[in-house]
């Protein structure tokens, strides 16, 4: 088939071309370019909380590197004999030893380790839920991409996910519980983080609107040093103004909040 021919092409196997659904590209795009203020875009370090196999992580690395290249000042470019490249670090988590090996191999093939790239990749064999903001490695993290395990009900070319119970009520409930815990950990455990992208490939409200609405409700008043200006809000990503989305007014979300989904 044409699909198998593409996946077996040398350019794909070498990592020079990455085959990815358009919708799968949105997570990294929104994290890198979703803000309506360009002043903070690209600054700080990043976490990809559930990174393997690494397609979204490598896409994020490319976007952040390009963004940081544009922030290099003319003054810095004129300096000689010094390395003044602005750099960000991307911490890519996965708790599975098998999956983290795939992650490391894929990032090694797709993301060059040289001064031309303005990002440093740091794949970690670690559960994101065990990540502690007091760990000095994460002191500069400002952005988190959370694309957790889900039912996969929105993947139209994977009927096996439904056949193995991926769409059962108990399975969806279990997944939603994990998704909520992971999202709340991202929202509350890293004081410098000011941007989180939560994404799934599920069509179920239980894994989308309900998770986000519950997380917003349960984190209100829990942020360290909170004042009237410190709380999480849903925002409509600037880079997807042209893209029709399905955000439902559900689980207590307002119409304005649903526009951010």
Q: What is d(CA 234, CA 130) in angstroms, rounded to the nearest whole number? A: 25
Residues 6+ apart with CB under 8 A from 2: none
**CA–CA separation, 151 and 1 (whole Å):** 27
Q: Report residue 77 as tokens.
A: 């470019």
Q: Catalytic residue positions? A: 201
- Given a contact cutoff of 8 angstroms between Cβ atoms, the answer to whether 103 and 57 are in contact is yes
Question: What is the CA 42 to chain-centroid distance, rounded?
Answer: 14
Taking CA atoms, 123 is separated from 51, 62, 145, 195, 199, in Å, by 8, 16, 14, 20, 20
CA distance 95 to 78: 43
User: Rounded to an integer, what distance in angstroms lies between the CA atom of residue 210 and that of residue 24?
Assistant: 21
Give Dmax over CA atoms of the chain in angstroms: 61
CB distance 66 to 29 below 8 Å: no
Residues 6+ apart with CB under 8 A from 211: 176, 179, 180, 183, 198
As beta bridge partners, residue 94 has 125, 126
Closest CA to 103 of 122, 118, 84: 122
């Amino acid at each position: 088939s044409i699909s198998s021919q593409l996946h077996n092409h040398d350019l794909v196997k070498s990592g020079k071309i990455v085959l990815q659904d358009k919708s799968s590209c949105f997570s990294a795009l929104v994290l890198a370019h979703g803000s309506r203020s360009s002043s903070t875009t690209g600054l700080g370090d990043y976490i990809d909380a559930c990174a393997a196999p690494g397609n979204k992580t490598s896409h994020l690395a490319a976007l952040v590197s390009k963004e940081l290249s544009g922030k290099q000042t003319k003054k810095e470019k004129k300096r000689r004999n010094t390395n003044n490249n602005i750099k960000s670090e991307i911490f890519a988590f996965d708790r599975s030893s098998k999956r983290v090996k795939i992650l490391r191999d894929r990032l090694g093939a797709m993301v060059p380790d040289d001064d031309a790239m303005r990002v440093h990749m740091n794949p970690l064999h670690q559960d994101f839920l065990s990540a502690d903001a007091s760990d000095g490695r994460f002191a500069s993290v400002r952005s988190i991409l959370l694309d957790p395990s889900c039912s996969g009900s929105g993947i139209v070319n994977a009927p096996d996910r439904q056949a193995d119970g991926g769409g059962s009520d108990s399975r969806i409930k279990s997944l939603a519980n994990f998704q909520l815990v992971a999202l709340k950990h991202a929202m509350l455990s890293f004081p410098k983080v000011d941007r989180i992208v939560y994404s799934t490939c599920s069509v179920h409200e239980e894994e989308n609107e309900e998770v986000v609405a519950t997380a917003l409700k349960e984190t209100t008043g829990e942020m360290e040093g909170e004042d009237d200006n410190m709380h999480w809000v849903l925002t409509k990503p600037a880079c997807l103004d042209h893209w029709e989305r399905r955000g439902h007014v559900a689980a207590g979300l307002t119409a304005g909040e649903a526009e951010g989904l």
